[in-house]
Every structure is written in C-alpha cells, then in structure tokens.
Chains A and B, each alone.
Chain A
Amino acid sequence: DSGVTQTPKHLITATGQRVTLRCSPRSGDLSVYWYQQSLDQGLQFLIQYYNGEERAKGNILERFSAQQFPDLHSELNLSSLELGDSALYFCASSVGGGSLTEAFFGQGTRLTVV
C-alpha cells in the first residue's frame, strides 16, 4: 500500500457527462500528480500541484481541470466526456515538488465512458 488513496476505484459514465476523481496524498506529501494510462498512449503526465499551486502541466485537455485543496487532497474534473477518455487515472504524491523525492502512486481510478 503506497499510502495514496484514490476514489472511486471504478466509474462508468455516459458520453457528455462530467465526473470528479479524488486523491488523498500520503501524509506529509505536499505534491500531487495526475497521470492518465491508456492502452494506446501509455502513462501520460497530466498535471502537478504543489502545496495548492499548479507546478507543472502536461498533455491535459481543456475539458479537464484539477485543483489541490488546503488539506492537500486533489480532485481531477473531467467534463464533456468522450469515449476516448476511458482510461486508468493515477494520482501520485511526493514530499517535495522536484525530482529529488520519489513519487508514490495510488491504485488508480478506472473510468469507462459508454
């Protein structure tokens, strides 16, 4: 158990809908990362927050947004969902914001868009 908690574990929704994925980082970790894992694209970095502020942005669609709250948990919001958004979404956390600290991954949320 990495200590990173993601909810829900599974989510099935229809095209055009909006969903929210939640991540609770390890105790003491200030940084949260979101990754998307799909069969054709592999693991893709979406976005990073550090202590409530956006730190880095990757290939995140405009339909997607994220935030990190004062208690350091994070939410990834996905809207106007398309079939191609079906994927595993992972959250990871680390103590620091840079690469000197290891990032620990949660078990992921499997999103299925039908």
Chain B
Amino acid sequence: QQQVKQSPQSLIVQKGGISIINCAYENTAFDYFPWYQQFPGKGPALLIAIRPDVSEKKEGRFTISFNKSAKQFSLHIMDSQPGDSATYFCAASKYGGATNKLIFGTGTLLAVQP
C-alpha cells in the first residue's frame, strides 16, 4: 500500500514535443503528490506539486493532471527542450502530517533530442 508505480522507465522525445510520465498510487491516505527533477550528479529538486482537491495544476510548461478515482497522476512537459533531459520522480505523502517523508516512484529517464 506504500508503493507508487511510475512509467515509463525511460522516454525519448523530440524537441518541441510533449513528454508524459504516469504514476499510480495505492494508499488512499496520500494527499500530496510532488514531482521531482534530478540532473546527473545532483539531488532531486521539487518541480511542481498537486493536492487532490484540484484535477490539474500548471506551472509554465509543466502540468500535473490528477485522477482521484483512478488513483493516478501524470506529468506533462509541453514544448520539451533538451535542457529538460533529466530523471523525473513522482512522489506521494500525507499532506499536513507530522512528517514530510516521501514515497517515491522508480523514476523516468527523459531524453529530449534536439
């Protein structure tokens, strides 16, 4: 019940295309879903996050879509750029809880070809 399943494992997208990464969770107690971006040699950095009271959140070229009934959420990167090439992790936690421990997906390695 603590798992977050992420797909695909890797993704190759042409410059200007749309990158889509999907995640699914099991534990209905989760109510905070952040996405992290990790470049080689760096630690993960928060990219965008969503709570279940909204179905979509957009920040620049990055959009999270959330389907509460299906327990799924996805990251869309519009107009993908070579600089977006990185590993992306979805995560889940209990919002407002006593801890911010994150349950991470297994990651998606995105390569944007020029």
Chain A residues in the interface with B (C-beta under 8 A): 2, 4, 31, 33, 35, 42-45, 48, 55-56, 58, 90, 92, 94, 96-108
Contacts and interface: CB of A to CB of B under 8 A. Distances in A.
B93 to A, nearest CB: 5
Contacts of A99: 32, 93-97, 99-100
Given A98-B98, A99-B93, A99-B97, A108 B43 contact: yes
Given A99-B94, A99-B95, A90 B100 contact: no
Interface in B66-105: 89, 93-105
Given A42-B106, A56-B99, A99-B100, 6 more contacts: A31-B100, A55-B99, A90-B43, A97-B98, A98-B97, A99-B96
Best-surrounded residue of B44, B97, B101, B106 (most CB of chain A within 10 A): B101
A43 B45 CA distance: 13
A97 B42 contact: no
